[in-house]
Homo-oligomer: A and B are copies of this chain.
């Protein structure tokens, strides 16, 4: 593999993140959107919190009440035969399914992209009928002086949608509502207009046919999206045979738009690969990784809340800090538990696609 991991990975662990409320504990911190603001690298991390429970037999599940917008805790007896707990992230009941944790988005700040200071409080939290099970997996696209942040909003009535907010300072945020209806996640908005149109990769799910493919859409205003085209299908039997989805926002290179995306295989191993899209007609795929650029190898990638995962929501194309060259800097969630960091030379990625 061409990728160079930071030797002191993971860079941020759950114990580095103060809980948002005394009744909650931080379970995992992963899948950060990334932006450069002045001389700082910002991570907008997904922080998943569980409700504290003094009784190991009692599972306590946090969610926002969609009417009152207040945090509620629902209690389940782990011995109750009607309760399904086979996936630790889910609680299925005859009436309704719950997530066993609730996620918010939290900022961390760094000069070098390796050593981060984590904010005391969330930057963006659940609060409406579209996200009362949490907000997850942000991506950040800078257009002009404004940062557009899209994230996965989860609610049991609306499903899994993608919402948009914008900010100029990462202190105040303007909400723009749901931009992709359910079920849709892994949205990455291109950081420039192409022929006067905005473009985004998105990952709708076809439950009917069991498909998890990457699509591309265009927009006049970032709010309304259309001209949906299937861009990247899963490839049966390969490293991305189970599902694919956008990763960091696309990077403009001499060869075209470079997107680091994730692929899961039939055994749900999540790896990272690259796809190169035409600079002017980004719905045209020029090249795609036959082999992944990065697979779970290290202990913190192989074992965790959901094992065998490397998953990125944020990359930057900059001079490396581990490698003395122009690199793709990759901040990534490992085993759905911690944040980690790696670099790969831009020329190595592009060469692998030729």
CA distance A206 to B133 in the complex (A): 14
Is A221 at the interface (CB under 8 A from chain B)? yes
Q: Which bracket fits the contact residues of A?
A: 35 or more
| A158/B224 in contact, CB under 8 A | no
Contact B157 A183 (CB under 8 A): no
List B contacts of A156 (CB < 8 A): 209, 211
Q: Does A229 sit at the interface, judged by CB under 8 A?
A: yes
Q: Does B218 contact A224, Cβ atoms closer than 8 Å?
A: yes
Contacts of A226 in B (CB 8 A): 177-179, 219, 221, 223-225
- Contact between B208 and A160 (Cβ–Cβ < 8 Å)? yes
| Chain multiplicity (copies) | 2
Q: Are B220 and A224 in contact (CB under 8 A)?
A: yes
Q: Does A204 contact B (CB under 8 A)?
A: yes
User: Is the CB–CB distance between A227 and B178 below 8 Å?
Assistant: yes
Residues of B within 8 A of A180 (CB): 181, 228
Distance in Å: Cβ of A4 to nearest Cβ of chain B: 36
Alpha-carbon gap, A184 to B130, bound state (A): 18
Inter-chain CA distance A32–B14, complex, in Å, is: 56
Q: Does A121 make an interface contact (CB < 8 A)?
A: no
Asked if A129 is an interface residue, CB under 8 A from chain B, the answer is yes
The complex places the Cα of A225 from the Cα of B224 at a distance, in Å, of: 4
Cα distance A178–B216 when bound, in Å?
A: 11
Is residue A278 contacting chain B, with contact meaning CB distance below 8 A? Answer: no
Residues 55-82 of A at the B interface (beta carbon under 8 Å) = none
Known contacts: A224-B225, A224-B226, A229-B178. The answer to whether A158 contacts B206 by CB under 8 A is yes
The 8 closest A-B pairs by CB, nearest first: A159-B206, A207-B207, A224-B226, A224-B224, A182-B206, A181-B204, A178-B228, A223-B226
A-B contact pairs, 12 of them (CB 8 A): A158-B230, A159-B211, A177-B227, A179-B226, A181-B202, A181-B228, A182-B204, A182-B209, A183-B207, A207-B207, A220-B224, A221-B224
